[in-house]
């Protein structure tokens, strides 16, 4: 039991760190931990979901505090803000408190920080963000843990489940990233006769 609690503590730290420094594959960490947990004891998967959600939530709160503090300066330096309609659209959706936007931003690689920045610049209070981000963090953790459990259901060995979960996470995130880029790709200007 002590080893399990230690592993869950490490998972919280990894996901928290990955939420602040977005180059760490936090989804793969939750999926891999869920795949291993499902091999040991199915109830442990619930603890993995909770650990992933807590790490994501605390990391998002820390990131949001930094963006509230330096949001305007950071926003002026980013290329994506040169499209004011896009920024205004994201800011309006964040101000409306749409949890779905926070959830989708967690699923698309590179999507979370721009949405958090838009919320900070748009004046979304830290308290309102904290309330809206809780279900988004939990949903994100459930989704990635489910990917790990699917890996467990398919492969008999724990290491195979972990590898399958990580590969599935990579495929899902790359597919979502591709769809996002395709949707926002500029259309070529019409040909003039």
The C-alpha atoms of residue 73 and residue 71 are separated, in whole angstroms, by 6
pLDDT at residue 50, as a whole number: 94
**Residue 19 or residue 72, greater confidence:** 19
pLDDT digits (tens, 9 = 90+) for 8-27: 888 889 888 988 887 777 88
Q: What is the Cα–Cα distance from 64 to 70, expressed in whole angstroms? A: 10
C-beta neighbour count of 164 within 10 angstroms:
21
- The predicted-structure confidence for 83-132, as pLDDT tens digits, reads as follows 666 666 666 666 665 556 777 777 776 777 777 777 777 777 888 888 88
Give 21-63 pLDDT, tens digit per residue: 877 778 888 888 888 888 788 788 899 999 999 999 999 899 8
pLDDT exceeds cutoff 80 at 165:
no
Mean pLDDT of 152-173: 68
Q: Would you say the pTM of this structure is higher than 0.75?
A: no
> How many CB atoms lie under 10 A from the CB of residue 146?
16
């Amino acid at each position: 039991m002590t080893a399990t609690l230690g592993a869950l503590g490490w998972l919280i730290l990894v996901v928290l760190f990955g939420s602040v420094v977005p180059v760490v594959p936090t989804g793969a960490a939750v999926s891999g931990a869920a795949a291993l947990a499902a091999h040991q004891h199915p109830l442990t998967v619930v603890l993995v979901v909770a650990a992933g959600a807590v790490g994501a939530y605390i990391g998002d709160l820390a990131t949001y505090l930094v963006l509230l503090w330096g949001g305007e300066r950071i926003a002026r330096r980013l290329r994506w803000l040169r499209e004011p309609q896009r920024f205004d659209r994201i800011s309006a959706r964040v101000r409306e408190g749409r949890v779905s936007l926070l959830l989708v931003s967690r699923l698309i690689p590179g999507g979370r920080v721009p949405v958090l920045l838009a919320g900070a610049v748009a004046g979304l209070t830290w308290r309102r963000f904290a309330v809206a981000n809780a279900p988004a963090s939990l949903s994100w953790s459930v989704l990635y843990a489910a990917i790990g459990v699917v890996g467990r259901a398919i492969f008999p060995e724990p290491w195979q489940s972990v590898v399958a979960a990580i590969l599935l996470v990579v495929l899902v995130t790359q597919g979502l990233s591709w769809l996002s880029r395709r949707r926002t790709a500029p259309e070529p200007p019409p040909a003039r006769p």
